[in-house]
Structure 1
Amino acid sequence: MVTPRLRHPVRRIGDRDIDFSRRLAVMAIVNRTPDSFYDRGATFALEAAVASGRAAFEAGADVVDVGGVKFAPGPPVPVAEEIDRVVPVVRALAPFGPVSVDTFQPEVARAAIDAGAAVINDTTGVHDPRIADVVADSDATLVVAHSLAAPRTQLPLPHYDDVVAEVRDFLEHRVAVAREHGVPAERIIVDPGHDLNKNTRHSLELTRRLGEFADIGLPMLVALSNKDFIGEALGRDRDQRLHGSLAAAVFCATQGARMVRVHNVRETVDALRMVEAILGWREPAYLLHNMRSEGNE
């Protein structure tokens, strides 16, 4: 078990205080895109996206992450269109819990925060430092993820001499950029970016050596859910990766990850709450087994 040395373990995210020294948080995914990797547009309609987000909160999600543009390469989505996709969902879900918006556009981040978003999840690692300016001028949390290519472009045959060392150096540098632009350390979370400009061997090594990020001092999010490295490791199609995703989530939790971004909320919540119970961070929901005297049985 790796215990991260967090400088600011207790975080205020939206209306919730989360103590990452004793809590494994779940970030649910809602894709308001017509071509998303996992659900293939199932939550593109506004009503479907809102219903999915509300169901995620009811299933135990700590944060719901709304995305209006997928990470994979493709034609640019106009900023105004991305705002139209995410802002109505943020407004609808914010009364039920903390909402995150997955974007690399400063204008989208501003509109989302104004609508009630508590987290900006930048999978391009503050590629545009103006996004840090926007977050700094708010109470929102910034997720800084590792990826190398320009937004929505391909990085063919990615190469790393030491993927863990290079990802760590990138994250420390981009966190420094965010702090220079006014985002305090107590409002930053890092993400090593599984599969983002990485092949399966890279993502497996990141997972295996995740404990080497433990002394970075910031809570770590891992976005593993149903990703290609799980499918390729197991030989499973996109809709058959739940068990591999749960195994990866639990392993990462034991190696210092404190938030997991997932599609399958209820199953992941149960897995991580069980880890918390084993570690003594959470009391059992009830006690019945072998808790009665013989005369009462």
Structure 2
Amino acid sequence: MFELKSGEKTLSLASPIVMAIINVTPDSFSDGGQHATFESACRQVDKVVSQGAKIVDIGGESTRPGATAVTLEEELARVIPVIEYTADKYDVWISIDSSKPEVMEQAVNAGAHLINDVRALQEPGALAMAASLDVPVCLMHMQGQPQNMQDAPEYDNVIQQVNDFLSLRVDYCLAAGMSRENIILDPGFGFGKTLEHNYELLAKLPELHSLHFPLLIGLSRKSMIGDLLQRDTDQRLAGSLAGAMIAAQQGAQILRVHDVEETVDVITVMSATMASLHN
């Protein structure tokens, strides 16, 4: 059984939990601009905590395909006040969605408990910073960068190559002094993958458990849902819930989603059903 520890806080991953997405950005693919102000972001935090999110994932830079980078100062101005608000008001886990070591440091100092890095601590200084902060870190696989990752993604064997990349990043983390208990893995749905790659990853998710780390899965409202169903981002709830349930059944521990209440309901029904199997 996996359990996350950050300072005095612990979080059981014995059954799947929901991580809520809070994009304090004007240009995220699904909800860009909806929570871009401090006030609107705080209201969204209030909402998702009341709906059962165990982790609130706060990000200040969009990583959608083709996204442009933001400055360090702008990213800090977006996320730190929202982290402080959340830490002051709620006893919930707070995640900082960033690749910049300076943002990681200030976020943890402001109350964040977890680092969620789409670049798997490959930016200069990020690995050493994360190790020094001694909090759990999620390492994600991405082929390329957000600006070009969907141009022409190619793999000989997507499962094997994602596994190999994550295994290598784990080795770097351990060599930097991080503990195994502080590492979470994310195969990176939609980050340098075709539609076929994404569904092969979802179907073969148990193969990623060979590394023996908890898995964080984020496919909420993504193009793998929209392109398959021919649905705009605001019409992808049913597909996202189906993906979340499949991921949970395949052993995912953390589901990163936009629609918290509905996903919590799905996981609650699934968990009750699974529990009845063992009675």
TM above 0.5, one fold?
yes
Gap regions ≥5 residues in structure 2 = none
Q: Bigger shift: 271-280 or 214-223? A: 271-280
Alignment check: 8 A CA contact 1:15 1:98 kept: no
The structure-2 alpha-carbon separation of the partners of 1:124 and 1:280, relative to structure 1 and needing over 3 Å to count, comes to same
RMSD: 1.8
**What is residue 63 of structure 2 aligned with on the other side?**
71
Shift of 1:132: 2.5
Matched, 1:235 2:230: yes
Gap regions ≥5 residues in structure 1 = 1-5, 282-297
**What is residue 218 of structure 1 aligned with on the other side?**
213
Alignment check: 8 A CA contact 2:105 2:133 kept: no
Match of 1:118 among 89, 113, 116: 113
**What is residue 47 of structure 2 aligned with on the other side?**
55
Provide TM-score, normalisation by structure 1: 0.88
Identity %: 37
Shift of 1:249: 0.6
Once the two structures are superposed, residues 140-190 of structure 1 have per-residue CA deviations (whole angstroms, 9 ceiling, x without a partner) of: 21000000214x421321100111110010111111112222221101100
Q: Which runs of 4+ in 1 moved over 3 A?
A: 13-16
Once the two structures are superposed, residues 47-77 of structure 1 have per-residue CA deviations (whole angstroms, 9 ceiling, x without a partner) of: 1101101211110000000110011333321
Matched, 1:273 2:279: no
Aligned residue pair count: 274
CA distance in 2 between partners of 1:10 and 1:208 (Å): 25
Shift of 1:17: 2.8
Match of 2:147 among 153, 160, 180: 153
CA distance in 2 between partners of 1:236 and 1:88 (Å): 34
CA distance in 2 between partners of 1:141 and 1:17 (Å): 11
Q: Which has the larger radius of gyration?
A: 1
Match of 2:129 among 114, 130, 134: 134
Provide TM-score, normalisation by structure 2: 0.93
Q: Bigger shift: 213-222 or 272-281? A: 272-281
Alignment check: 8 A CA contact 1:129 1:178 kept: no
Match of 1:82 among 75, 78, 96: 75
Alignment check: 8 A CA contact 2:62 2:68 kept: no
Letter in 1 for 2:3: V
Within 5 Å, which residues of 2 pair with 1:1-297?
Answer: 9-13=2-6, 16-20=9-13, 22-72=14-64, 73-95=66-88, 96=90, 97-128=92-123, 130-150=125-145, 152-155=146-149, 156-280=151-275
CA distance in 1 between partners of 2:70 and 2:26 (Å): 12
SS in 1 for 2:133: coil
Once the two structures are superposed, residues 231-267 of structure 1 have per-residue CA deviations (whole angstroms, 9 ceiling, x without a partner) of: 1111211111111111111111111111000000000
Alignment check: 8 A CA contact 1:250 1:271 kept: yes
Alignment check: 8 A CA contact 2:5 2:135 kept: no
SS in 2 for 1:207: helix
SS in 2 for 1:28: strand
Once the two structures are superposed, residues 119-157 of structure 1 have per-residue CA deviations (whole angstroms, 9 ceiling, x without a partner) of: 11001122226222222222421000000214x421321
CA distance in 1 between partners of 2:248 and 2:267 (Å): 8
SS in 2 for 1:169: helix
SS in 2 for 1:99: strand
The structure-2 alpha-carbon separation of the partners of 1:75 and 1:112, relative to structure 1 and needing over 3 Å to count, comes to same
CA distance in 1 between partners of 2:67 and 2:18 (Å): 28
